[in-house]
Amino acid sequence: MSSAQQRLNQVSSHFSGKKGAAGITEKHPDDIVVTCALRTALTKGGKGGFKDTAAADLLAGVFKAVINKSGIDPKAVEDIAVGSVLAPGGGATEFRAAALVAGFPETAAVKSLNRQCSSGLQAIVDIANALQSGMIDVGIGAGVESMSSQYGPGAVTEFSELLESHPESANCKVPMGVLSEDMAKDRGVTRAAQDSFAASSYQKALKAQKTGEEKTITVKADDGIREGITAESLGKIRPAFAKDGSIHAGNASQISDGAAAVLLMKRSTAERLGQKIIGKYVSASVVGVKPLLMGVGPWASIPLALEKAGITKDDVDIYEINEAFASQCVWCVNELGLPQEKINPKGGAIAFGHPLGCTGSRQVSTLLTELHRTNKKVGVTSMCVGTGMGMAAVWVAE
């Protein structure tokens, strides 16, 4: 942590007089709060309910749901950040169009961004930072991905001779599955999501395109959850990357489609607008690790986010750690010494999917829903990030 951040934390503690969880659960007018966090269902890439639905259409649907559920006046929203990994042109054009279709006025600015698997969380943090600085008063951080239409060999371009000539640079394009094989020490089995997060999902008729025809479909729940799985049944699945490897479709994240969005503002703004506060953003961290060890990202980023928040790992009630692969998630959990019962209590990306740009924002909806359901307070969202990074954020449910 920088000396400036340490000093800022010291000054903040002087005002609150409380440390740890008691300090971050205090309420102040300048708190960055969440008044709505929801997502679409997540569906199987290439064969699920959204396989013919464009990413921007998913995004428009989730934007409309935010407006309807929160009751926010669309004119109050000043900026929208959308994380996406695979969208052509970064999604900048169609995401702006999706915001207009959803009902936001032309005064609402829109940007797209890509920090790979943490893109959705980075979008939220960017909005939180803009709120903290006073640049805007109300904003939305979102994430979306249509892996059905945009995932494949063309998602990563060939490196130039310049990039190939540097060993660490060249390692940035090594497939994640190979990295996970190298670090695999356990075969973690996720618990399947029990209720498809009905409280944070929404049911929406969407238009799908196939062979030039349009039809209306309704996707009510995640369709990637496997029923009746056991460690033995998963162990019989054919390895994906090496003939004698352990990484396969049963212990790696699913290729999926989906969108999620989080409405943020300062507490004073929420009270003025009559918005119901469901949670608070506390802190975030993003760090780099060796490209060949990209899966250890949560191990590096979670302690830093906790330090910035002024709490310890024991103060956290629930950790949402993205299961890019069971091996890397289990490794991070073990190395951090976190209780298994606090990790992804409703399941994770192995159970219901990992639409790359969506996951970081989806996790916030999942986390706040479960904190409310269990009457708990403090949560952390985190993920490893391709090319060797990790990101994490601390949240409080209200």
- pLDDT tens-digit readout, 28-61: 999 999 999 999 999 999 999 899 999 999 999 9
Active-site residue identified among 36, 329, 332, 384: 384
Annotate 366-395 with b (16+ C-beta within 10 A) or e (fewer).
bbbbbbbeeeebbbbbbbbbbbbbbbbbbb
Compute the distance between CA of residue 289 and CA of residue 224 in angstroms, rounded to an integer.
31
Is 36 tagged catalytic? no
Which of the 8 DSSP states describes residue 255? P
The active-site residue, picked from 36, 117, 329, 332, is: 117
Q: What is the pLDDT of residues 84-98, one digit of tens each?
A: 999 998 999 999 999
Residues 6+ apart with CB under 8 A from 339: none
Instruction: Give the Cα separation of 385 and 286 in Å (integer).
Output: 10
Q: pLDDT-based confidence at 154, cuts 50/70/90? A: low
**Structure tokens that stand for 353 in this block:** 């999917």
Burial (CB count within 10 angstroms: exposed 0-12, middle 13-18, buried 19+), residue 183: middle
Domain edges within the chain: 3-152+179-392
Residue 32's φ and ψ, nearest 5 degrees, are -90, 115
Quick one: pLDDT band at residue 139, thresholds 50, 70, 90? very high
- pLDDT for 207 beyond 80: no
CB 370 within 8 A of CB 342: no
pLDDT tens digits, one per residue of 83-132 = 999 999 899 999 999 999 999 999 999 999 999 999 999 999 999 999 99
Q: What is the mean pLDDT of the chain?
A: 84
pLDDT in tens, 310-367: 999 999 999 999 998 888 898 999 999 999 999 999 888 888 889 999 999 999 999 9
Active-site option among 36, 332, 354, 358: 354
Percent of the chain scoring above 70 in pLDDT: 77
Backbone φ and ψ of 82, nearest 5°? -125, 120
- What CATH number labels 3-152+179-392? 3.40.47.10
Q: Tell whether the model's pLDDT for residue 206 goes beyond 60.
A: no
Contact 265, 273 (CB under 8 A): yes
pTM: predicted TM-score of the whole model, two decimal places:
0.86
More confident residue, 96 or 166: 96
**Contact indicator for 49, 43 with CB cutoff of 8 Å:** yes
